[in-house]
Structure 1
Amino acid sequence: MKTYIESFLELLYPEKNTCFICDIYDESIEDKYICSSCEGSIKKLIPPLCTKCSKPIDYNMSVLLCPDCINDIKYFESSKSPFFYDGLIKKSIYSFKYYNKPYYYKLFGKLLVDYMININYVNFDYIIPVPLHSTKMKKRGYNQSELVARYISNKLNIPYLNALKRVKKTIKQSQKSKEERRKNLKDAFSINKTKNINKIKNSSVLIVDDVYTTGSTTNECSKTLINFGVNKVNVITIAR
């Protein structure tokens, strides 16, 4: 069953067979929301990849973990991403977040669902988005991670749960170093004490976010969930 916001966005941008990125109309597009040309221009992450965070690594490494995952504590089991954060995908994610294109959730949701099914990354009890702070939510009008998370939840029939809230208004992360990001996000999230929130204890959850850069955001979210009693946390992002 569609939510109110999904129904509203369907009216806002109802057309299938249209590439969201280049606006070309082609009946072969159907419900993919991307033409073959644009899809072919997106750079995919290709193995070998770090088994923890999916960062490209060298075949000559003695273990299948990147230096960051060897040296830093990661509270999630693994983070998967189908695309390299560059070029067309980077531009599209930026438009999704900052240029009032909430309907892009269909494009990114479809790409992620196809990817997750292909690699059998679907065995989770709950889908949880990375939350926005209330001030940013009011300014933007939507949480891009929530829209994608709801799409994945609906298509894979995995319950969606708004289990986290952002209690600290953090400074924009993009220009910060890894250590600055970590400090900026320390204690930024808490459990959203909604009805029946205790049901996520001892469960396996999937956190949904748009981009994995240093992993500070998803790691802090994972830490909050693990400390609450969640058994296992995994992550999916559009790109890294």
Structure 2
Amino acid sequence: MKEWWSFLFPPSSACWFCGTPMQARLFAPPEKRFCPVCLEALQPIREPICQVCGRGFDKAPSADVCFDCVRIAEEERVMNRSPVAYTQQVAAWVRLFKYRGKEGLATPMGRWMAEVARVHYARENISLVTFVPLHEERLIQRGFNQAEKLADEVGRRLRLPVCPLLVRNKDTAYQSKRTREERLSALGGSVILADGAWKRQLANQVVLIVDDVYTTGATVRECAKPLRQAGVKKVCSVTFAR
């Protein structure tokens, strides 16, 4: 009996990000899985939020859609949710994950993203998980697609199949240093449906797109276009940071 109780309620755990020993129950929510230092740096997004992109509002808004999303046609919008704001510390963690070989960060990041998706998309009946593709040249340089790593963890946690439905047919270079207008121009027509995706019978499916960071939303909207053309019923996204 004692061994069973210790398994369910271990006396101590470790911070998901830095590994600092701490008290944490087995079924504790994600925010209880980080030490106080990391949690403060992470800045979890809480209500009220934009009902489209998931950005947190500093104060109670006069509308439920932020200024950026109002400018996007309703038929082009993709609902996004993210657990944390894109702070300097989060940006540093994302760089470690993408460029410094810290692939293990996909586990805590993906876990939290899965919980956010579980809560916010409970009524959407998501049937497939996919991810933002990398161009072949970028994939060779980096060695892995960070969005795919996150999608694998999200799919595992949500018990949903993860399918490579999309292909990037041109290298759009790094988007992080571009203006909004430059992003929109560069991304146009850069994502197409993968050759084998038609075999998935996408009509009437609800697809969740996974990526690491949501900035302007141009990337997930570009990914949504071929999916909608293939008959997907609804497209939504989850990213680690917004």
Does the CA contact (< 8 Å) of 2:206 and 2:234 recur in 1? yes
Equivalent-residue separation in structure 2 for 1:102 and 1:47 (angstroms): 30
Which among 168, 171, 174 is matched to residue 170 of structure 2?
A: 168
Q: Which moved more, 1:75-84 or 1:192-201?
A: 192-201
Which among 217, 220, 226 is matched to residue 222 of structure 2?
A: 220
Q: Which moved more, 1:23-32 or 1:168-177?
A: 23-32
Does the CA contact (< 8 Å) of 1:18 and 1:29 recur in 2? no
Find the counterpart in structure 1 of residue 10 from structure 2.
none
Structure 1 pair 182/139, CA: closer, same or farther in 2 (3 Å)?
Answer: same
Structure 1 pair 120/230, CA: closer, same or farther in 2 (3 Å)?
Answer: closer
Scaled by the length of structure 2, the TM-score of the pair is 0.83
Equivalent-residue separation in structure 1 for 2:77 and 2:160 (angstroms): 19
CA displacement 1:154-196 (0-9 Å, x = unmatched): 1211111110011011121111111110011001001001165
Structure 1 pair 51/28, CA: closer, same or farther in 2 (3 Å)?
Answer: closer
Structure 1 pair 20/141, CA: closer, same or farther in 2 (3 Å)?
Answer: farther
Q: Which moved more, 1:20-29 or 1:141-150?
A: 20-29
Does the CA contact (< 8 Å) of 1:41 and 1:88 recur in 2? yes
Does the CA contact (< 8 Å) of 2:43 and 2:85 recur in 1? yes
Equivalent-residue separation in structure 1 for 2:231 and 2:136 (angstroms): 25
2:115 maps to amino acid: D
Find the counterpart in structure 2 of residue 24 from structure 1.
20
Find the counterpart in structure 1 of residue 94 from structure 2.
93
- Indicate the RMSD between aligned Cα atoms, in angstroms: 2.5
Does the CA contact (< 8 Å) of 1:76 and 1:234 recur in 2? no
Q: Which moved more, 1:108-117 or 1:204-213?
A: 108-117
Equivalent-residue separation in structure 1 for 2:226 and 2:175 (angstroms): 19
Equivalent-residue separation in structure 1 for 2:26 and 2:35 (angstroms): 11
CA displacement 1:32-80 (0-9 Å, x = unmatched): 795422234310112221111112345342x311122222235344111
Structure 1 pair 86/29, CA: closer, same or farther in 2 (3 Å)?
Answer: farther
Find the counterpart in structure 2 of residue 191 from structure 1.
193
Find the counterpart in structure 2 of residue 5 from structure 1.
none
1:49 aligns to 2:45 (yes or no): no
Structure 1 pair 180/77, CA: closer, same or farther in 2 (3 Å)?
Answer: closer
Q: Which moved more, 1:83-92 or 1:188-197?
A: 188-197
Q: What are the ranges of 5 or more consecutive residues in structure 1 without an aligned counterpart?
A: 1-16
1:106 aligns to 2:102 (yes or no): no
Equivalent-residue separation in structure 2 for 1:102 and 1:181 (angstroms): 26
Find the counterpart in structure 2 of residue 7 from structure 1.
none
2:117 maps to amino acid: M
Equivalent-residue separation in structure 1 for 2:182 and 2:96 (angstroms): 25
Does the CA contact (< 8 Å) of 1:76 and 1:232 recur in 2? no
2:177 maps to amino acid: Q
CA displacement 1:72-130 (0-9 Å, x = unmatched): 23534411111100033221111111111111111111111222334454720100110
- For residues 1-240 of structure 1, the aligned pairs below 5 Å read 17-19=13-15, 21-25=17-21, 28=24, 35-37=34-36, 38-57=38-57, 59-61=60-62, 63-73=63-73, 75-121=76-122, 123-194=125-196, 197-240=199-242
Equivalent-residue separation in structure 2 for 1:110 and 1:147 (angstroms): 12
Number of aligned residue pairs? 224
Q: Which moved more, 1:216-225 or 1:39-48?
A: 39-48
Equivalent-residue separation in structure 2 for 1:67 and 1:174 (angstroms): 20
Alpha-carbon distance, 1:19 to partner: 4.0
Helix, strand or coil for the counterpart of 1:127? strand
Equivalent-residue separation in structure 1 for 2:155 and 2:182 (angstroms): 33
Scaled by the length of structure 1, the TM-score of the pair is 0.83
Equivalent-residue separation in structure 1 for 2:55 and 2:186 (angstroms): 23
Does the CA contact (< 8 Å) of 1:42 and 1:87 recur in 2? no
